[in-house]
């Protein structure tokens, strides 16, 4: 008696160690390897907590990637908040602050999914710095 309801033809079964073609195989670096990396990535986009993965998770590449972006976002947010007190450029820096918060939310969203997402300008700045 067959052990399953599906067709057991030899041509429909794949060998157990078959290598997937590149377009089907998961790409390395798109998924987190550990839950510590995911937690560090989420913490990276929360103001003031962005320094925790940078200092405590130096060995985790995913956490460092997101921590660098998070620190740059934190600096931009702090700069925007400082310039909000000046009424001359209120609209410009409010827009920058809203964009930074949107990037933080996007970073948290992609970090919870376990994906590395390069923020358009922030990731380039983060890669150039020596944090």
- The predicted structure's pLDDT at residue 118: 84
Read off the tokens for 101.
């918060």
DSSP string computed for 39-72: HHHHHHTSTTTTHHHHHH-TT-HHHHHHHHHHHH
Q: Domain coordinates of the chain in residue numbers?
A: 35-128
Q: What is the pLDDT of residue 73?
A: 92
Mean pLDDT by groups of 10 residues along the chain of 131 residues = 51 50 48 76 86 83 86 87 71 84 90 86 83 74
Which two tokens mark 76? 């931009």
């Amino acid at each position: 008696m067959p052990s399953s309801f599906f067709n057991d033809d030899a041509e429909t079964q794949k060998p157990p160690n078959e290598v997937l073609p590149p377009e089907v195989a998961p790409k390395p670096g798109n998924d987190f390897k550990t839950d510590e990396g995911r937690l560090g990535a989420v913490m990276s986009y929360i103001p003031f907590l962005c320094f925790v993965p940078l200092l405590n998770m130096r060995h985790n590449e995913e956490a460092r990637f997101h921590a660098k972006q998070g620190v740059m976002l934190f600096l931009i947010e702090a700069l925007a908040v400082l310039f909000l007190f000046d009424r001359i450029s209120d609209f410009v820096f409010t827009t920058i602050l809203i964009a930074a918060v949107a990037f933080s939310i996007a970073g948290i969203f992609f970090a919870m999914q376990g994906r590395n997402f390069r923020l358009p300008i922030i990731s380039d700045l983060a890669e150039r710095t020596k944090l």
